[in-house]
Amino acid sequence: MLTSLGNMFLLIQDYKKALTYLEPVLEELKAQKIEDRSLGIVYTNLGWAYFKLSNWSKSKESYEKALQILKKENALFYVAEVYGNLGRLYKELNDDSKAVNYLKKCIELNSLLGVKKSELEAKLLLAELTADKDPKKALNMAISIKSAVDNEEDMILLRDLYSLLHVCYKNMGTISSALECHEIYARYNDSVQKEINGFNTIRTAYEKDTKLQLVNAQLKAEQEKTNLEIKQLKQVIGLIFFSLLIIFVSLYYIYNIRKKNLNERERLLKEIKKLKSNEKNNLVVNSKDFIFNRELIEQKINRRLNETDWKVLHILLEDATYSNREIADKVSMSIDGIGSSLKRMYVYFDVKETKYRKIALLHAVMNISSVVTD
């Protein structure tokens, strides 16, 4: 209960209130001599609360203890998070060498785990550390991850990216580009600020409600003390139940969406496998033996595809699950070029928005060609 309440106040950015719940949890776990992943997570959350309250020494102490426990438990996702938070901490302490060291570890581990958002956050922080000393290098670092940040569609990431681009262009004396990036930054910052204001509203409402309860408690005096305690207990239980209900519904929704996407992916891959097969003779042929009917395909979409588009389609024929970077490496092109080619073909072949659009694209093209290849 205490952990759930502490985490809730972390989410609405009431860090002092979060500490009032998380610190007793830490003492209880230590009293029971529990040194598993749960203790490491509590230390991590305490470290973040102390960090946001500018208590650098307590934050550093909490993160170091968290890292020791989480490494022992092999809890790599949480280890990566602590690496990133230590990078932020040492950035605030102006210890650039340690900040860079932890951010690189964070990037490497998140890349291994496939946690793209956290990897991008660490890369942005790393670029920010470079901006004042070498704005050109920082600019190149920011540009190299721009398309990935755009794909994440995370307002805080986008705000930080364009803030960094503004600083880089400004330090390099490229005023027009700096102004353009600042305008984009301002738009994203407004969106982030709206969310923060929402948190402020929640905190204000909570504080007013708490004060009101205290006033009522004083007016009712001792004879209603027991009733007030029961009422407060019900409120806490209701809050916990509501929080758990939200978490359960969210997890159930995410599970169903993921299951639906995976089922659609498997269905498309199975159909692609069938299209690569000689079903009349019941013989499976190599994917390289499948030949796109260029004339029939271009006739169907009423336009000509360029050579880049054909190269991309043939790479997808090898493996429809290739990433844009893997495709770019195979055809010696930029990721942006591959992205532009794919976006065009999504429109040409009327591929609807889905998590596995490349697979759907290949499926559509092979369906057109199947009249001949079958």
How distant, in Å, are the alpha carbons of 7, 95, 118, 148, 175 from that of 158?
Answer: 25, 26, 13, 10, 20
Whether 7 contacts 1, CB under 8 Å = no
Same domain? For 36 and 185 the reply is yes
The burial of 88, by beta-carbon neighbours within 10 Å (0-12 exposed, 13-18 middle, 19 or more buried), is given as buried
Q: What is the CATH number of the domain that holds 142?
A: 1.25.40.10
277 forms beta bridges with: 284
Verify that 184 and 283 share a domain, yes or no.
no
Q: In terms of domains, do 187 and 289 share one?
A: no
What's the total number of domains in the chain? 2
What pLDDT is attached to residue 244?
Answer: 76
pLDDT for the residue 283: 36
Q: Is the residue at 228 inside a domain?
A: no
172 within 8 A of 139, measured Cβ to Cβ: yes
Asked whether the beta carbons of 22 and 45 are under 8 A apart, the reply is yes
The answer to whether position 249 is within a domain reads no
305 and 161 together in one domain:
no
φ, ψ for residue 230, nearest 5 deg: -65, -45
Domain annotation covers residue 253: no
Task: Report the phi/psi class of residue 55: left, alpha or beta, with left for phi > 0 and alpha for psi in -120 to 50.
Answer: beta
Domain end, chosen from 197, 226, 256, is at 197
Longest dimension (CA), the chain: 89
Same domain, 296 and 148: no
Q: Mean pLDDT in each 10-residue stretch from start to end of the chain (374 residues)?
A: 89 90 92 89 94 94 94 93 94 92 94 90 89 88 86 84 89 90 89 76 63 63 83 86 78 72 72 61 48 90 92 91 92 92 92 85 88 49
Q: Extract the tokens encoding 184.
A: 């984009």
Question: What pLDDT sits at residue 369?
Answer: 84
- 170 shares its domain with 36: yes
Give CA–CA dist 161/100, Å, rounded: 18
Do 193 and 284 belong together in one domain? no
Best CA proximity match to 246, nearest among 64, 16, 4: 4
- In this structure, the answer to whether residues 48 and 180 fall within a common structural domain is yes
Which pLDDT value is given to residue 72?
Answer: 92
Q: For residues 365 and 268, give the distance between their C-alpha atoms in angstroms, rounded to a whole number.
A: 12
Q: Is residue 36 part of a domain?
A: yes
pLDDT at 309: 92
The answer on 159 and 21 residing in a single domain is: yes
In a domain, 77, yes or no: yes
Output the CA torsion sign for 246, 251, 252, 257.
Answer: positive
* Structural domain contains residue 266: no
**C-alpha–C-alpha distance, residues 21 and 31, integer Å:** 16
Q: Which of 165, 197, 229 is the last residue of a domain?
A: 197
Residue 257 covered by a domain:
no
By residue range, what is the domain housing residue 8?
2-197
Round the CA-based radius of gyration of the chain to a whole number and report it: 27
Of 172, 197, 222, the domain-final residue: 197
Q: Are 84 and 103 in contact (CB under 8 A)?
A: yes
Q: Is residue 89 part of a domain?
A: yes
Which CATH number do you get for residue 363? Answer: 1.10.10
pLDDT at residue number 285: 38
Q: Are residues 133 and 20 in the same domain?
A: yes
Q: Are residues 300 and 190 in the same domain?
A: no
Contact 322, 316 (CB under 8 A): yes
Spatial separation of the C-alpha atoms in residues 116 and 80, rounded to whole Å: 12
Neighbours of 134 (CB within 10 A): 14
Residue 90, helix vs strand vs coil: helix
3-state secondary structure of 43: helix
> Tokens in use for 349?
């072949």
Shared domain for 52 and 155, answered yes or no, is: yes
